[in-house]
Structures are given as C-alpha cells and as structure tokens.
Amino acid sequence: MKNKSKYVSHPLNSEGNVEYSDTENETWDFLVSRQNRLIQSRACKEFISGVELLQFKKTVPQHFEVSNILREHTGWAIEPVPAIIPAQDFFDLLANKKFPCANFIRTKEDIDYLEEPDIFHEVYGHCPLLTNKSYAHFMQEYGKLASKVSGKVRMRLFRLFWFTIEFGLLKENGEYRSYGGGILSSKDETVYAIDSDVPEKIDLIDPMVALRTPYRIDILQPVYFVLNEIDDLWKLLDFDLIALAKESLELGNFPPKFTPKEKDSSTMVI
C-alpha cells in the first residue's frame, strides 16, 4: 500500500463534520449519478441493494450519516482517517468493524482515475456491501486475521484482499457481476471488468493462485478472480491463509499478466 498522497483530508469542525465546498459537492453528485447508471447491469444484486439503502444525496455525505445506516444493518461504521494509512492500521480498523475513510474527494482533474482512496471510492465503492451481514462479517474476520501477522505476510494477505474486496467478480445467474469496490467506484473498470473479453477471469478455488499473482494499481486489471456468490468469501477462511501467504512468499510470484514498469512515485507493483 502506498504511504503518501497528494490529497489531504479536511479537518472536522466542532460538530464532527466536514465543510465541503460547492465544487466538491458537485463532484460527488457527478460521480454518484454516473456510477448509478453504469452499475445497473454490472454490479451484484447485494451491492445495488446497498446503494439503495445508503440513499446518497447530491452532497458529500458526512461520516455519521453513513455510519448510522451501517450500524442499523451490520453494526459497522466509517472512521475518519488522514488519507492513506499503514496496512496494520487499516486491518486493525476492519477487525473492529470500522472502515477507514479519508475526508477528501478527488478534483475534476482526477475525475476518472485516482490512486488515492478518496471518500467516493470508500463510501460508494465499499459501504454498500457493508450493509450486507455476510460480507461485513467476513471483512471483520479478515481484518482480525491480517492484523496479527508480520508486515510481509500482511501485504500478501492484502493481495488476496485486492483480488476479492477491491477487484472481485461474482457469477450471478450465469452472468459476471462485480462486487469489488475498486471496480464499482471506477467508470472505466466497471465497464471493462464485465463487458470486455480482454481480461482473464479465473474461478477463485485455490487462494494460492491469487496470492502468487502480482498486480499493478495504475492500470485496468488484466485478471479478475471469480466467486459464485458473496457467501463464498467465507470459503476462503476455511484455508489456513497465513500458512498459504508464507508459502506464497517462498514460492514467489507468477509471471505478471501486464507489462512490468519501474516503481516510481506514481506506480506501484505488488
């Protein structure tokens, strides 16, 4: 995970809220309206139900507004954080039923793509499924698992998190549907993941395959891993994921399914 961001979270006022500008509210409204159109035939039914439950308005939501709805359905809340946080802190929050969320939204210059997880990615991309009890409980258990291991093993577990929670697909009535927050908060990835025949789609039967598959954060994903339904996330916890993560480090990565690029300030290969 990257440890720096060009964006800075807004401070909370005396009432615990963020004072977003008219421009920021307009950006939120544009992004939500656009994604609502794109997801209808591409997101899983649980995600669409979650979007309906969260009842997004035309203005950037305050943390308490989202948290109140999540608590009602699954006991979760979102936690204000200063942009990107260390992986340890991230998984510690998940273990305590809190989803980290920075208090900033992308500028219009970054409207279609942003590496940093802004409030649109976190709230629109992830919070709809946090209204689903099975998904939310899996997130907590995965957070507990990943928070108790060493740094290298934790980052390997984050790779599995990437291929599921961030960029996972489901089979719904024989059709591919997205549940990953990284897909469903991205205009291009939402369409590409479902409509394109270019990316490889692999059934997620053996988590070792995902653990050994490298990825880049700055491109459309060349490979997606597929589950049959949201509840299949729990089958991953039937494996000894810590042991598999350690073994995957010893075995090394599969050849990347993308053109390698040197790491720099704008690119990360994991």
How many Cα atoms sit within 13 Å of 79 on the Cβ side?
17
Q: Which residues are catalytic?
A: 121, 126, 166, 185
Q: Say how far apart CA 260 and CA 139 lie, in whole Å.
A: 31
Helix 45-54 with 63-73: angle, nearest 10 deg = 120
Of 123, 125, 113, whose CA–CA distance to 80 is shortest? 123
* DSSP-derived secondary structure letter, 256: P
Q: Say how far apart CA 140 and CA 165 lie, in whole Å.
A: 12
SS (H, E, C) 172-224: ECCEEEECCHHHHCCHHHHHHHHHCCCCEEEECCCHHHHHCCCCECCCCCCEE
Q: Say how far apart CA 178 and CA 199 lie, in whole Å.
A: 14
Contact residues for 43 (Cβ-Cβ < 8 A; gap 6+): 51, 177, 178, 179, 184, 190
- State the CB neighbour count (10 A cutoff) for residue 101: 25
